[in-house]
Amino acid sequence: MPRALLASFADSIALTDKDAPLNAGRLRIEVLSGLTVALALVPEAVAFAFVAGVHPLVGLYAAFIVGLITAIFGGRPGMISGATGALAVVMVSLVALHGVEYLFATVVLMGLIQIVVGVMKWGKFIRLVPHPVMLGFVNGLAIVIFLAQLGQFQVPGTAEAAGHGMASGEWLSGLPLFLMLGLVAVTMAIIWIMPKITSVVPAPLAGIGIVAAVVIGFGLDVPRVGDLASISGGLPAFHVPFGDGFGIYGTPLAPFNWDTLMIILPYALILSAIGLIESLLTLNLVGEMTNKRGGASQECIAQGMANTVTGFFGGMGGCAMIGQSMINVKSGGRTRIAGIVAALFLLTFILFGSGLIEQIPLAALVGVMFMVVIGTFAWNSLRILRKVPKMDAFVTILVTIVTVWTDLATAVVVGVVVSALAYSWNNATRITAKVHTAPEGAKVYGIVGPLFFGSTEGFAELFDVQNDPSLVIVDFADSRVVDQSALQAIEGIAAKYQAQGKAIQLRHLSRDCHSLLSKAGHLMVDSDDDPDYEIAVDYSVRTGILGGH
């Protein structure tokens, strides 16, 4: 590998950059920010593991490995990755139909696909996502994060809950509900007020710490992290996700054969697409907040590496987490150190600190996530909906709704398709012609607007073949010939004039249009009277082919 390329890669994964030089103050901010993120990762990872129908350790393992690898190699310092709900809702079907052993093999294949996408530099196509789709993505994801927290207001499935005569899954009511709401409000108030007092401790960490101290100190009977699931017992051993033996938790490993590939390939494709879309959109969002551009292809490769390794170690895979990324950025995390520290803290919690982490009240974490929702939702989009074009407003609302009701990948695809169709329709209706008569008596059609599949019908309607003179000039100085449909439209018009015994000349075709016509098999000859583009075409009545002018 060339030395320059090695240097470039080393710079891209440097722990710090010139905008956030490493010193004692910066290191403190990064460590505390990482600790805050780690505390928020625990209940999320456990909850998403339940959604996917797997053991909590599978979610925690993914949060640690994916978070660590993407923090080191990812395209945007400050981003946090881990087990996510967007992937969990797809995984639950795989686990239910085929078993958890196929999940790990799927995650490995998912990672390999993402690496290929990164190597091929296909991540750059995220630039094609219009701004209204981005607004809908942000608003929809904020709503999804909010709705996900509502489950914490239900009675956890624990023996303690049964002892209080309350069924698991029932909504809290009475004093427990008011106590939960009060602690959430206190946490949010601390996060709002803390930056006005001091920046020594990240506000989310202060909120979690103070509320946890109050709950533990006064022995308040409220749901805690430990009520979700026991996370003690250490990490599972390394295993290979294919083979004939047994792997994690005694589950049989998926056989390494063609049938397994046919089972896991569809899921791997869907998961890789969802993971990359969510990661690349989060990459752009974090980049806007920190005024730093990230590497889309590098992020794809990092996500792929993380998922491949996670699959081999018994994790459920993951992608970028917008909620935890926002917590990190708002807590001051600007370098890779915060993400690395968050992953290491999470590993420490799993191995040694599970008992302490289980005492953290869920209300504190819900309060943090509610503040993330408030900060994530693009409130200005509500104000500008009446000011932007109606189609842009429609796309924003549509993507928001689809994100909430289905998943992020579907919402983004729907938004991009609708935006593309709207763009095509607008351009199709805008093609016009400036018509005048040249000194030599020829009628000149100055085409304005792109000529492509959507505008070919409008293009054909511009011409008056019956009443035009014997020589017609079509000037494309203000137009572009975009695709094969446009070429066919040009040939169709030329054929109509030929049938009437009239000649047609094409002028000012750009070089790329010239290339398209040449590839279509037409003879193009440079012309002295077309000095700007050096291309002019005379559709000969006698030969029926494009010839020199």
CA separation for the pair 179, 166 (Å, rounded): 16
Burial class (CB in 10 A: 0-12, 13-18, 19+), 108: buried
Residues 6+ apart with CB under 8 A from 420: none
Which two tokens mark 252? Answer: 């049989």
CA separation for the pair 276, 299 (Å, rounded): 8
**How, if at all, do strands 319-320 and 81-82 pair?**
antiparallel
Q: Which of 135, 30, 86 is nearest to 279 (CA)?
A: 86
Q: Which of 544, 504, 493, 502 is nearest to 523 (CA)?
A: 544
Mean pLDDT computed over 241-262: 68
Q: How many residues does the chain have?
A: 549
Burial class (CB in 10 A: 0-12, 13-18, 19+), 521: exposed
Q: Which residues are paired to 320 by β-bridges?
A: 81
Instruction: Give residue for tokens 């589950």.
Output: 251
**How, if at all, do strands 471-481 and 81-82 pair?**
unpaired
Instruction: Give residue for tokens 């969990």.
Output: 88
Q: Which of 439, 514, 454 is nearest to 489 (CA)?
A: 454
> Please, where in the chain does CATH 3.30.750.24 lie?
431-547
Instruction: Give residue for tokens 């910066």.
Output: 26
Range from 48-57, 241-250, 311-320 that averages highest in pLDDT: 311-320
* pLDDT per residue as tens digits for the range 134-155: 889 889 878 887 887 888 888 7
CA separation for the pair 523, 512 (Å, rounded): 15
Query: Do 490 and 481 touch, CB atoms closer than 8 A?
Result: yes
Q: What's the distance, CA 408 to chain centroid?
A: 7
Q: What's the distance, CA 126 to chain centroid?
A: 8
Mean pLDDT computed over 183-209: 88
b (16+ CB within 10 A) / e for 68-97: bbbbbbbbbbbbbbbbbbbbbebbbebbee
pLDDT at 166 over 50: no
pLDDT at 44 over 70: yes
CA separation for the pair 408, 391 (Å, rounded): 20
pLDDT at 272 over 80: yes
Mean pLDDT computed over 450-455: 88
Q: 526 or 340, which is more confident? A: 340
- Using CA atoms, how far residue 208 sits from 45, 132, 463, in Å, is 18, 35, 72
Q: Tell me which architecture the domain covering 431-547 has in CATH.
A: 2-Layer Sandwich (3.30)
Share of the chain above pLDDT 70, in %: 81
Q: Which of 324, 413, 326, 372 is nearest to 136 (CA)?
A: 413
* pLDDT per residue as tens digits for the range 462-521: 999 999 999 999 998 888 888 888 888 888 888 899 889 998 888 887 676 666 665 655
Phi-psi region at 524: left, alpha or beta (left = phi > 0; alpha = psi -120 to 50): beta
Query: Do 78 and 340 touch, CB atoms closer than 8 A?
Result: no
List of E strands, 15-77: none
* pLDDT per residue as tens digits for the range 387-444: 888 999 999 999 999 988 877 778 888 999 999 898 888 877 788 999 999 888 899 9
Q: 426 or 545, which is more confident? A: 426
CA separation for the pair 334, 315 (Å, rounded): 27
Q: What's the distance, CA 459 to chain centroid?
A: 38
Q: 224: which DSSP letter?
A: B
pLDDT at 242 over 60: no
Which two tokens mark 117? Answer: 């996408």
| Count of C-beta atoms within a 10 Å radius of residue 512 | 11
Query: Do 15 and 21 touch, CB atoms closer than 8 A?
Result: no
Instruction: Give residue for tokens 């456990």.
Output: 46
Q: Which of 486, 454, 376, 411 is nearest to 142 (CA)?
A: 376
Query: Do 351 and 236 touch, CB atoms closer than 8 A?
Result: no
CA separation for the pair 134, 150 (Å, rounded): 25
pLDDT at 165: 44
CA separation for the pair 274, 412 (Å, rounded): 10
CA separation for the pair 44, 59 (Å, rounded): 9
Which band of pLDDT confidence, cut at 50, 70 and 90, is reported for residue 84? confident
Q: 246: which DSSP letter?
A: B
Q: What's the distance, CA 406 to chain centroid?
A: 15
Residues 6+ apart with CB under 8 A from 19: 292, 334
Q: 382 or 7, which is more confident? A: 382
* DSSP-based three-state secondary structure for 537: strand
* pLDDT per residue as tens digits for the range 8-33: 445 555 665 555 667 888 899 999 99
